[in-house]
Amino acid sequence: MTGLEILIKAHAGLRWVVLALIIVGIARAAWGWLGSPSYEKFDRVWGAVSSGVIDLQILVGVLIFFLIDTALRPSWWHPALMLLAAVSVHGGAIVARRATEDRRKHYAHLLAYLVSLLLILLGVYAVRGSLF
């Protein structure tokens, strides 16, 4: 197995980790926003872990993009949408950190996770022609 094949398999596997982190993040943020529980260390750590894993996914994707034969490269839609998804997750964490009320912190994460999920699904569709 070549290094490129390993990167492609890692990228495909990390996709599911990213989606799981975002889906759980959506559930937790919605529960926090609607139910008004306090914004806890778990929420902050979940945002940091989600940001870190999506950054790793972006790094692997960029490596693949530049290592793959130019004839096989996907359109720019996939990398552009994925970068925007990462920006959304990071932006939500930044806004949540700066918010003073717990509900606003949860709301910031909720919006960021929802936007990033939509962008990720669109990005997967752009490269695969289907969602799964």
The pLDDT-based confidence of 76 (bands split at 50, 70, 90) is: confident
Answer positive or negative: Cα dihedral of 104, 89, 49, 97: negative
Q: Is the pLDDT of residue 73 over 80?
A: no
pLDDT of residue 39: 92
- What's the structural domain count of the chain? 1
> In degrees, to the nearest 5, what angle opens at C-alpha 44 toward C-alphas 42 and 49?
90
Q: Taking the complete model, does pTM exceed 0.75, yes or no?
A: yes
Local structure of 75: helix, strand or coil: coil
Q: What is the span of the domain harbouring residue 9?
A: 3-128
pLDDT of residue 131: 67
Mean pLDDT computed over 68-93: 88
SS (H, E, C) 3-63: HHHHHHHHHHHHHHHHHHHHHHHHHHHHHHHHHCCCCCHHHHHHHHHHHHHHHHHHHHHHH
